[in-house]
Amino acid sequence: MELLGFQLPTYGWSTILGSAISGVFLGAIYALVALGLTLIYGVLHIINFAHGALLMLAMYAVYFLWHLGGVDPYLAMLIVVPGGFVFGYCLQRGVIGKTSHGRDEIILLVTLGVAIVIENAALFLFSADERNVQVPYDLDGIDLGVTYVVWTDLAALAGSLLITLALWLFMVRTDTGKAIRAVAKERQGARLVGINVDHIFAISFGIGTACVAAAASLLAPTYAVYPQFGYLFVLIAFTVVVLGGMGSFVGALVGGFVIGITEQLGRLYLGESLGLITISAIFILILLFRPTGLFGQKA
């Protein structure tokens, strides 16, 4: 197969299908990271530049729970998810909210500053060395014929589906979820009916951080953590959020799958180093032809 003068390799359907299936599991990981990002944007209407740093911090928490206490990374979710919520709530209420004075452009700079502080603190405390969580089941899995899937990838897929469903139910069925939706739709109107907007902002940021903590628990058996770890996923998570639609949970899930499959097929045909070009191409095309994303709505 030839494309723009380049000779692309030819593969059988089983190889292509295997790469696509691998892309689904990779996309589930991207979706996990993007869920918290899209929630925070949907309510606060800002891009949280500290998202990657918070993911890295949660990964270190999972690592040290395993290293010092022997806690399985999946069981660590029972600790890091509530801890992530409390940390995110306090961070927004005590730092981001107070220093931004309600101005969105200042919030962007504050989250960037928070990211720099967290990353440099991690570099000072933990050094640049990679830390691995070693579990006995990391290579166990199931043979699908066209590809081999490890249990950790299956756990990430199941986790992304369950967390998306849980967030959707929370937003639709609970009073807090309805208040979050009201604040996201109209801040001033929410204030007029008695909703504590600052409290809802902090809750939303806390839930977004809790999603990052859940993602960290599911990523820990597969990926090593180091101070710049967040950059590995958060840049792609931004693309996932734009593709799916800002503020859409379902969009983040579907966008993650699309990006994951595209990346794997791109690596198959273009090689490991050039495969990521396909993600950038999708990002540009979405901004050109559908800036609201697949499930986004016009303002």
Asked if 108 and 48 touch (Cβ cutoff 8 Å), the reply is: no
Asked if 52 contacts 230 with a C-beta cutoff of 8 angstroms, the reply is yes
DSSP state of 295: S
Give 14-69 pLDDT, tens digit per residue.
777 888 888 888 888 888 888 888 888 877 777 788 899 999 999 999 999 999 99
Per-residue model confidence as pLDDT tens digits over 138-161: 788 888 777 778 888 888 888 888
| pLDDT tens string 166-212 | 888 998 889 998 998 888 888 888 888 888 988 998 999 999 999 99
Task: Note whether 203 and 45 are within 8 A (CB).
Answer: no
Sign of the C-alpha dihedral computed for residues 51, 87, 104 and 200 taken in this order: positive
The C-alpha torsion from 285 through 290 and 295 to 299, rounded to 10°, is 140
Mapping DSSP to helix (H, G, I), strand (E, B) and coil, where does residue 142 land? strand
What does the chain come to in residues?
Answer: 299
Name the amino acid, one letter, at 120.
N
CA distance to 137, 201, 217, 219, 264, per residue, from 71 (Å) = 14, 32, 11, 15, 32
Q: Using CA atoms, how far apart are residues 254 and 23, in angstroms rounded to an integer?
A: 12
pLDDT at residue 62, as a whole number:
95
Residue 6 has pLDDT above 90, yes or no: no
Both tokens of 88, joined, read 């995110």
Q: Which band of pLDDT confidence, cut at 50, 70 and 90, is reported for residue 282? A: confident
Rounded to whole angstroms, the Cα distance separating 131 from 224 reads 5
Confirm if 252 and 244 have CB atoms less than 8 A apart.
yes
pLDDT band for position 299 (50/70/90)? very low
Which pLDDT value is given to residue 8?
Answer: 57
